[in-house]
Structure 1
């Protein structure tokens, strides 16, 4: 007589050796409206492992940022600093907005330029080379700008209690014609 031994049931996550739920991810993949009709079991295991790796990377970098700020709790600011200071994660998430994350500390090099400062007085460092480049860019851009004399429009009375501006162009695009400004879209209010 053979005895039937019950095997303990293992989840797909345990069999794959990961923490993220493989079955739940498979269910969500199937429920996605843009997904094909058939999804393999390997696809959900692969996606779960990739998600687990990304979350582990985020938590490690965010924990390091929290520790650098002498904090024991990870806040959205630490998450922002974590992915912004990592080159590969920043490439992946450069258009993401972290609510309550703030902005990255950054000072534009043009703020350090002094208009009357001579280039020869700057030491030969990487920051001074950047300053010299910015100064040249600013000088070249201001030299090409053309000053346009625009006279003030006059008011003309049309009807009872209403004034309209005469001498103004009908559209914004007509007003900016001949300048370096390009109008991508225009919203007109109907009066």
Structure 2
């Protein structure tokens, strides 16, 4: 009698990460959660570990994607800790999540006093034997302002009398315009995202300008005032006191008045090109969709009815969510 031995095929076990469709280790996160002092209960389900792993993986992918765009924006081939730090500081949502996180080798944002920057000497070309620059070359330079400012125009629409509304991805403080809008508070605080960046570039001169504005009195809610912009590429800064979002009041109406006050101040100063951030969606707490729809609609309506001096309004944003919302709202604008 011959005994036949059939070799049983070993079934390869699948890890919890594979079963959940994740890359990060679910088992490791589960062990860390059980040994952590923040979880008082001794029994933790696998679902909690899977959910937390998925959130960590999503945040990591989002952060790396934005950091890669930041590195590309600064013409770097690799992502450095400084790119990650800059991404966190610019993106409002990531800044809230990583507010108490220190990134090793991330460095700090440079803050050079304007007095230390040496001004390049421009040689006189009055007696030069070189021919003058042709007009066509000058026109081409105007057309390539986007490349010079390293900003990417994602959407653009032209309305009556050639007025334009543009959605741009980039740094608003690098815009060479007549004025940029700075959402602030009653006492011209600069603790917001835009305020911290303009202070790092404006330095002592801008601090003196803000001190002078504070001495003139507080900035009333919804009010906008114009000042000089020392140390910035823009000629002026329009400071506006954005109201805090509240469901009990009329948030859309307040935000509409705020945006219109910015436009009216620009018209009073005879400005032609202004740049706005996502007004209201920062520290004011407005939902991004509501803020974008309200601001774009009221500005469109105002420029349609009024003989305004404004020619171009740039909406300069950085995070992907705001850019997508503003692109869609501008596309659907009547």
Q: TM-score range by the shorter chain?
A: 0.5 to 0.7
Alpha-carbon contact 1:79-1:101 (below 8 Å) kept: no
Q: Where does structure 1 lack aligned partners over 5 or more consecutive residues?
A: 131-191
Q: Which protein has the larger Cα radius of gyration, Structure 1 or Structure 2?
A: 1
Contact 2:71-2:83 within 8 A present in 1 as well: yes
User: Structure 1 73/113 Cα, relative in aligned 2: closer, same or farther at 3 Å?
Assistant: same
- Answer yes or no: is the 8 Å Cα contact 2:29–2:53 preserved in 1: yes
- Supply the distance in 1 between the matched residues of 2:226 and 2:31 (Cα, whole angstroms): 66
Change (3 A) 1:129 1:16: closer
Q: Quote the offset at 1:126 in angstroms.
A: 7.4
Q: 1:107 to 1:55 in 2, by over 3 A?
A: same
Are positions 1:46 and 2:51 aligned together?
Answer: yes
**Higher share of residues assigned strand:** 2
Contact 1:78–1:101 under 8 Å retained in 2: no
Gaps of 5+ in 2: 1-5, 112-196, 200-205, 217-224, 229-234, 241-334
SS at match of 1:107: helix
TM-score (norm 2): 0.33
Q: How many residue pairs were aligned?
A: 126
Structure 1 Cα separation of the partners of residues 103 and 208 of structure 2: 27
Contact 1:13 1:22 in 2 (8 A): yes
Per the alignment, residue 141 of structure 1 pairs with none
State the partner residue of 1:20.
24
Equivalent residue runs for 1:123-138 within 5 Å: 127-129=237-239
Counterpart CA distance in 2 for 1:121 and 1:107 is 15
Tell me, what secondary structure is at the counterpart of 2:237? Answer: helix
Q: How do 1:1-191 residues align onto structure 2 when only pairs under 5 Å count? A: 5-35=9-39, 36-99=41-104, 100-103=106-109, 106-108=197-199, 109-112=206-209, 127-129=237-239
Q: Structure 1 residue 113: deviation in Å?
A: 5.9
Distance change (3 Å), C-alpha of 1:38 and 1:77: same
Contact 1:22 1:45 in 2 (8 A): yes
CA distance in 1, matches of 2:42, 2:15: 24
In structure 2, the CA distance between the partners of 1:121 and 1:91, relative to structure 1 (3 Å rule), is closer
Cα deviations by residue, 1:35-76 (Å, 9 ceiling, x for unpaired): 211011111111111110111111111111111111111112
Q: Residue 126 and residue 40 in structure 1: after superposition, are their counterparts in 2 closer, same or farther (change >3 A)?
A: farther
How many angstroms apart in 1 are the aligned matches of 2:54 and 2:78? 26
TM-score by length of 1: 0.55
CA distance in 2, matches of 1:9, 1:85: 43
Q: CA deviation at 1:32?
A: 1.6
1:4 Cα deviation from its structure 2 partner: 5.2
